[in-house]
Amino acid sequence: MASHLKQTILMVTVMTAAIITASAQETEISDFQEAEILRRLKQLNKPAVKSIQSPDGDIIDCVPIANQPAFDHPLLRDHIIQMRPSSEPESGLAENTEEKPKAIGQLWHMYGECPENTVSIRRTKEEDLLRSTSLETFGKKSYRTIQQVVSRDLGASVHEYGVTQALNNQVYGSKSYINVWKPFVQQSDEFSLAQTWVVSGSGSDLNTIEAGWQEYQQLYGDYNTRLFIYWTRDAYQHTGCYNLLCSAFVQTDGTFVLGGTLNPTSSYGGTQYEISLLIWRDKNTGNWWLQIQGINVGYWPNTLFTSLKDSANRVDWGGEIVNAQSSGHTNTDMGSGHFPEEGFGKAAFFRNLEIVDGSNTLRPPPSLGALAPTPNCYNVRIGGAGTSWATHFYYGGPGKNPNCP
């Protein structure tokens, strides 16, 4: 698998034998890998009281709340579960009645739901681990490629963005409605996503909380549009992961599966679907809660973070893709794969953007800036605050085109 695993085996071999044939090395490496994979699967997949086979091939395990992976984290061994937030932020925005998209659900619910006092967890399979470059990096973003946001080196994956940003000295959360699509993704090691980032700190002390939808074959094994979360407290270097693939996020409700397929998705010129996301800091505990479609899914414990312990200083919303092409530009779509100028029903959008202030109140961001480093490939268009959508924007693009060679 990874060079790190091979180096480990070679070191053991030198200590245990002076001479070893190449075929024997391969056998030992294979045995070692298999043992490590089984150990990791046992760590990730907790005993379930019920399992549900989803139409997309996923297996959803209903795991008792107290037995979920979060509590393997050293900082959470004696953690007392906060079953519900002490309070929720209130919004002064009126509910949209014009061009209102439909709320979205998850595919696995076609075949059941998890019982009370359990949480729904997507089972990790051996093939999921084998698709990763190494067991150490499974479920994590690449720190190396994160650093290459704007300038692209040949042969290296690069993240490209079409986002808006709200800068503030103290922010305590974010809410938005995110239009959900199934973009074209050119190859398995590329992805396309739409998300919100709650951010604090900088450099190696960068802390983020992230949530949205993504399409990422290398992680999930298919090109379905999936709900996801992420976090880091050291700029993606060592901490953090997608969904529940490391011990961190405490899930308290089994309605949504983190990493589960969202269905249906929007169609060009047709029905539009969306998902509402609210992230906020609980004033009593300091935990950062996640609410999806009005359901409190769980929280990131305050002890996980450094600069996010007290507040955030920035919120971002928008799209991101990975361009893994060695030359030229990827054809991977961002959003719907159409530029923001095409508008509702054709371009992807975020609507009713709000931030949480110090009084635990949701308010439109006082100012919003756009970041689209490659506007001929992917762009952003911010809308005004005088409509029923309040602060909103369209974003996206097709990637490679005559103006994005």
pLDDT tens digits for range 280-291: 999 999 999 999
Cα 307 to Cα 386: distance, rounded to the nearest angstrom: 35
- Sign, CA dihedral 89-93-95-98, equals negative
- Stretch among 11-15, 34-38, 160-164, 220-224 having the lowest mean pLDDT: 11-15
> pLDDT class for 9, splitting at 50, 70, 90?
very low
Residues across the chain = 405
Q: Which of 210, 215, 274, 354 is catalytic?
A: 210
- State residue 91's pLDDT score: 80
- Stretch among 209-218, 281-290, 379-388 having the lowest mean pLDDT: 379-388
User: Structural domain boundaries of the chain?
Assistant: 1-44, 47-77+84-396
- State residue 95's pLDDT score: 59
> pLDDT class for 98, splitting at 50, 70, 90?
low
Cα 184 to Cα 195: distance, rounded to the nearest angstrom: 17
Compute φ and ψ for 17, nearest 5 degrees.
-155, 145
- State residue 145's pLDDT score: 46
At 17 the three-state DSSP class reads coil
Cα 222 to Cα 208: distance, rounded to the nearest angstrom: 26
Q: How far is CA 358 from the centre of its chain?
A: 26
Q: Which of 190, 215, 320, 354 is catalytic?
A: 320
Element at 121 (helix H, strand E): strand 118-122
Q: Angle at Cα 338 formed by Cα 334 and Cα 340, nearest 5°?
A: 95
CB 364 within 8 A of CB 174: no
pTM comes to: 0.88
Position 220 pLDDT exceeds 80: yes
Establish whether 210 is a catalytic residue.
yes
> pLDDT class for 134, splitting at 50, 70, 90?
confident
Position 15 pLDDT exceeds 50: no
